[in-house]
Chain A
Amino acid sequence: MELLYASCVGVLISCGVFLLLRARTFPVVLGLTMISYAVNLFLFSAGRLTINKAVVLGTGAEYADPLPQALVLTAIVIGFAMTAFVVILAIRGRADLGSDHVDGQIIKSAADSKEQR
């Protein structure tokens, strides 16, 4: 299970980084989402992976570490808000800049650039 879990996180991160480097807003948003999923999985694993352990229920029983779950929950909520913001900003950027490139560069034809001069 550990191997599968670790490779999942690794694959998600590498896909995310690849998409980020595309430097176009839509792939970047997807990449950020993937990275945040990977981070959430990773945070969850920080409390050690266990099987057949309940959440905190009364006394005595063996229970899984509740703190990483709380951390992940917070991280997910924050991640959602941030993703929503960056999507809206990307849409606005597309409208304002006429390009979905993160640097906002419009790929000009030769005629256009002559006109501007």
Chain B
Amino acid sequence: MIQHLTSLPILLPMLAAVILLLPPCGKSLRIRRIASSIMAVITFIVSALLLIQVYNSGINVYAIGNWSAPFGIVLVADMLSTLLVALTSFLGMGVVLYGCAGDDAKGNFFHPLVHFLILGVNGAFLTGDLFNVFVFFEVLLIASYSLLMHAGDKQNTRAALQYVILNLVGSSVFLIGLGILYGVLGTLNIADMTQKVALLTGDDVYLAKAGGLLLLVVFALKAALLPLHLWLPNTYASAKPVVAALFAIMTKVGVYAMLRVYTVIFGEQAGELEHMAQSWLWGLAIATIVVGAIGVMAAQDLRKLTANLVVVSVGTLVALIALQNVTATAALLYYLVHSTLVSAALFLLADLIATQRGKVGDRLVAGRAVNQPYLLGACFVIAALTVVGMPPLSGFVGKVWILKTTLNSEQALLFWPVYLIASFVLLVALSRAGTSMFWERKGNKVESAEGENAHPLQVMIIVGLLACSPLLVVFGGPISEYMVSAATQLHDISGGINAVMQGGK
């Protein structure tokens, strides 16, 4: 059993989704909720076990069907991928439980689709083969297309149509990039590619460069990097907030793929193609932060504001990828975990605020007072402080770490002012949002209907997600040690190649 642990974060959600489609669960909402929650919790526990196992015993390579590495397909569980798998399963668990409070009754297939999405994301994190990254991308995308339509209206259809078409074009570009790389390198196994990139000569170098940069286009689209980010605010703002909260992990899949391709395959050992995407990533990341901050300032409602916060966080993450060193990657991992959890919490919070304010919804204008001002207000303040990076919460630690890693690089002159001004803009925008939602009231509290209070389960999930932020600070020592060793493992390219090539036998 223990040697099959690596495959379980992929198999369990698949099993869960299938079970949820079959008769006893398919008919009754109550049974479906119970089964879905149980499976989500089991998936999270297994992912956490895998994390612990990989932490103790090093890279875990699982050869599917016992075909060894360059020929067969392998799953590679290193510290980076297991961390992200555990994060995904945790978020998935939160979203499933939150959905049980009522959001899942608005459409038929909420629970199976959530599990399919978790399957896709976990698979993309765990696979050691670039073509399988494509396959799992498609799995998670088709689940996300359908989830986007969950309980949808007209606005939703339009956003979904644009999102689907954009991603289908992205998939085609992905395949062309893969085709070029396969034609040049003769393999799509990430470890094997890493070995072969260094041996390229002559015209093949340029072909590989073209293929690699085509992949950059795709990953930039998935991660919502600057010229390709325009779909994100619309899509995330029109999805149900509980779905948008789950989507918070999806941009991180793009970031992860960039990390694998441009830090490992085209990393230090790539000969002529060493760090080939660095200059592109750096410029685009800075521009993404700027545009995201402007978007936050211009947002008319809380969901769009949060969606733009996701754009800012992607810009920050990609800037750290561009630095291509161990400390930057470690800071990136810390910031990634923090930003995923807090943006998910903000999306869910937007949902509660919108339902309690009646017609005004989550638009940032004066409206009816919320029913539970102290609870929601406190949650909002904590979420806002975290996301802006004020002490003493995890955003602050992440920010200090990011600023410290960039301090010694020559790019600091550009990065520091942009990042700090963007944080200030975020602070202003979020305070304005909080003020207009909680303090500016029309009418008095009496008119608000009874029984509109948030479901205790919903509150529990939001508080749980927000509680991760202080926990990330309290356990900052061990967590940052973990991040540093995960980053070291990622940058230890020859170690990774050896593990994959020999471990799969």
- Interfacial residues, chain A to chain B (CB-CB below 8 A): 20, 25, 28, 32, 35-36, 38-39, 42-43, 45-48, 67-68, 71, 74-75, 78, 81-82, 85-86, 89-90, 92-93, 96-97, 102-104
Contacts and interface: CB of A to CB of B under 8 A. Distances in A.
Contacts of A81: 142
A78 B157 contact: no
B274 interface: no
Given A39-B175, A82-B171, A97 B164 contact: no
Contacts of B172: 32, 35-36, 38-39
B378 to A, nearest CB: 39
B175 A102 contact: no
A108 to B, nearest CB: 16
B138 A82 contact: yes
A9 to B, nearest CB: 9
Q: Taking chain B's interface residues, is the majority helix, strand, or loop, or is none over half, making it mixed?
A: helix
A78 B138 contact: yes
Interface in B174-196: 175-176, 178-180, 182-183, 188
B165 A85 contact: no
B169 interface: yes
Given A82-B171, A96-B154, A97-B158, 11 more contacts: A20-B169, A42-B179, A74-B135, A78-B135, A82-B142, A85-B142, A89-B157, A93-B158, A96-B158, A97-B154, A102-B162
A104 B154 CA distance: 9
Contact count band on B: 20 to 34
A67 B165 contact: no
A115 to B, nearest CB: 18
B160 interface: yes
B102 to A, nearest CB: 24
B180 A46 contact: yes
A50 B13 CA distance: 42
B479 to A, nearest CB: 37
Contacts of B188: 67, 71
Given A39-B175, A43-B178, A102-B162, A93 B169 contact: no
Interface of B: 131, 135, 138, 142, 145, 149, 153-154, 157-158, 160-162, 164-165, 168-169, 171-172, 175-176, 178-180, 182-183, 188
A104 B145 CA distance: 17
A68 B178 CA distance: 10
Contacts of B157: 89, 92-93, 96-97, 104
A46 B161 contact: no
Contacts of A74: 131, 135
A96 B160 CA distance: 12
A45 B178 CA distance: 12
B183 to A, nearest CB: 4
Nearest to A16: B172
Contacts of A86: 161, 164-165, 168
B179 A43 contact: yes
A103 to B, nearest CB: 7
10 tightest A-B CB contacts, nearest first? A104-B158, A46-B183, A46-B179, A43-B179, A96-B157, A39-B175, A46-B182, A93-B161, A35-B172, A96-B154
Contacts of B182: 43, 46-47, 67-68, 71
A71 B176 CA distance: 12
